[in-house]
């Protein structure tokens, strides 16, 4: 009887210590989550490793470690963490996706494709893996393979503008320009509806590279308060030795910034040549270093809010008017 009691006591001792260990692991895990929320990633790594030391089968700790390593762009470490988690739970959809992302960022495209396909096999409605698989195909220049995958992603998440942009790129690379412009257009409309004007302007640039007609339509969405006659599809300079004429009066500045000093003014009808473009030009806002026909040089904002302020001349006129001060 005394021996039996001793065995029971020993068993209770080990069971109690196991409960303490699990509770301790839970506390370390909670501290790790709090550290992630506070963006204290080094401390979070320490906490999750402590959790794993006490509770080796805690899949969530491996997942969180992978997440942190991805943030820190430590791809090799992220891959190791996700693989350990998957070894415990091979049916974790998100873990296969996240491992695929780490492999993709590490340049291991074929391995990434395998993981995204595993994620999709586990859940045929998991849009992020379709999207990432399409992106890897684009990276590998497998555009015809990317198109049906990205279309499937859009079937699941039709209002996700980034997928529209990626599908637009795939269509553009296969020279299906109207389809490309259509998806860039849809992305731009979603961005506008979400009050993300900067992204909408970027979408406009992509539309412009595929279809001038659709770009013109989108400009009316970008500038609904402008008169249609004031909105033009952008026409960037073709050659720097061409002559141009202003369609409205413009300031000429010392450098390519609206805050730069005004060094003169050009009247409507003034003629000039473009010497070079500013390095950060976009189709929405473009600066050019110009030389007016009468000799004065400076920076001119030839495109402002999508409206072109000049036209191309086949030949310069004999004399261009200007209202530069003497």
pLDDT given for residue 19 in this prediction: 42
Least confident of 41-55, 187-201, 309-323: 309-323
Assess whether 270 and 170 both reside in one domain: no
Assess whether 177 and 257 both reside in one domain: no
Across residues 13-41, what is the average pLDDT?
73
| Number of domains into which the chain is organized | 2
> Residue 199: inside a domain, yes or no?
no
Report percent pLDDT > 70 for the chain: 83
> Residue 195: inside a domain, yes or no?
no
> Residue 287: inside a domain, yes or no?
yes
Residues whose CB falls within 8 Å of the CB of residue 198, separated by 6 or more in sequence, listed in order:
none
Could you list the residue range(s) of the whole structural domain that residue 169 is in? 18-181
Assess whether 251 and 154 both reside in one domain: no
Domain boundary among 153, 181, 209: 181
Across residues 169-181, what is the average pLDDT?
93
> Residue 194: inside a domain, yes or no?
no
> Residue 200: inside a domain, yes or no?
no
Least confident of 232-241, 276-285, 308-317: 232-241
DSSP 8-state assignment for residue 230: G
pLDDT at 6 over 50: no
pLDDT given for residue 272 in this prediction: 84
Assess whether 28 and 163 both reside in one domain: yes
> Residue 191: inside a domain, yes or no?
no
pLDDT given for residue 271 in this prediction: 87
pLDDT at 246 over 50: yes
Assess whether 268 and 172 both reside in one domain: no
Assess whether 57 and 131 both reside in one domain: yes
Assess whether 81 and 158 both reside in one domain: yes
Compare 143 and 237 and report the one with higher pLDDT.
Answer: 143
Assess whether 143 and 276 both reside in one domain: no
Domain boundary among 151, 181, 211: 181
Count the neighbouring beta carbons within 10 Å of the beta carbon of residue 125. Answer: 10
Is-contact 176 146, C-beta < 8 A? Answer: no
Going by pLDDT thresholds of 50, 70 and 90, the confidence category of residue 3 is very low
Assess whether 77 and 173 both reside in one domain: yes
pLDDT given for residue 248 in this prediction: 82
Assess whether 95 and 175 both reside in one domain: yes
> Residue 276: inside a domain, yes or no?
yes
Average pLDDT, the chain: 83
Nearest by Cα to 177 from 211, 203, 148: 211
pLDDT at 230 over 70: no
pLDDT given for residue 283 in this prediction: 65
Going by pLDDT thresholds of 50, 70 and 90, the confidence category of residue 23 is low
Across residues 120-143, what is the average pLDDT?
97
Specify the CATH number for the domain of residue 157. 1.25.40.10
The pLDDT tens digits of the residues spanning 236-245 come to 444 446 788 8
Assess whether 33 and 167 both reside in one domain: yes
Domain boundary among 132, 154, 181: 181
pLDDT at 258 over 50: yes
Least confident of 64-73, 81-90, 124-133, 236-245: 236-245
Q: What's the Cα-to-Cα distance from 115 to each of 20, 82, 106, 145, rounded to whole Å?
A: 37, 11, 14, 17
Count the neighbouring beta carbons within 10 Å of the beta carbon of residue 272. Answer: 28
> Residue 271: inside a domain, yes or no?
yes
pLDDT at 89 over 80: yes
Specify the CATH number for the domain of residue 299. 2.30.30.40
Q: What's the Cα-to-Cα distance from 107 to each of 45, 97, 132, rounded to whole Å?
A: 24, 15, 13
pLDDT at 78 over 70: yes
Assess whether 169 and 264 both reside in one domain: no
pLDDT given for residue 227 in this prediction: 57
């Amino acid at each position: 009887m005394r021996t039996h009691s001793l065995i029971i006591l020993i068993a209770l001792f080990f069971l109690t210590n196991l409960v303490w260990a699990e509770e301790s692991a839970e506390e370390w895990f909670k501290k790790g989550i709090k550290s992630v929320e506070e963006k204290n990633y080094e401390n979070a790594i320490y906490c999750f490793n402590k959790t794993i030391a006490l509770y080796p089968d805690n899949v969530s700790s491996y997942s969180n470690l992978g997440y942190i390593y991805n943030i820190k762009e430590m791809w090799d470490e992220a891959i190791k963490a996700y693989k350990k988690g998957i070894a415990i739970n091979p049916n974790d959809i998100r873990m296969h996706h996240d491992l695929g992302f780490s492999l993709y960022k590490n340049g291991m495209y074929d391995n990434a494709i395998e993981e995204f396909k595993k994620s999709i096999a586990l859940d045929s409605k998991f849009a992020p893996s379709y999207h990432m698989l399409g992106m890897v195909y684009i990276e590998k220049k497998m555009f015809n393979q990317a198109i049906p995958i990205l279309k499937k992603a859009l079937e699941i998440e039709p209002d996700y503008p980034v997928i529209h942009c990626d599908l637009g790129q795939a269509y553009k690379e296969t020279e299906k320009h109207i389809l490309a412009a259509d998806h860039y257009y849809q992305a731009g409309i979603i961005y506008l509806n979400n009050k993300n004007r900067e992204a909408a302007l970027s979408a406009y640039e992509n539309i412009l590279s595929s279809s001038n007609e659709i770009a013109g339509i989108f400009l009316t969405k970008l500038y609904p308060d402008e008169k249609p006659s004031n909105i033009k599809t952008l026409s960037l300079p073709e050659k720097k030795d061409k002559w141009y004429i202003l369609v409205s009066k413009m300031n000429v500045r010392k450098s390519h910034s609206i805050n730069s000093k005004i060094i003169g003014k050009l009247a409507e009808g003034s003629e000039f040549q473009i010497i070079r473009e500013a390095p950060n030009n976009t189709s929405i806002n473009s600066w050019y270093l110009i030389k007016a026909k009468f000799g004065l040089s400076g920076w001119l904002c030839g495109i402002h809010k999508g409206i072109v302020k000049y036209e191309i001349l086949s030949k310069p006129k004999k004399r261009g008017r200007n209202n530069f001060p003497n």
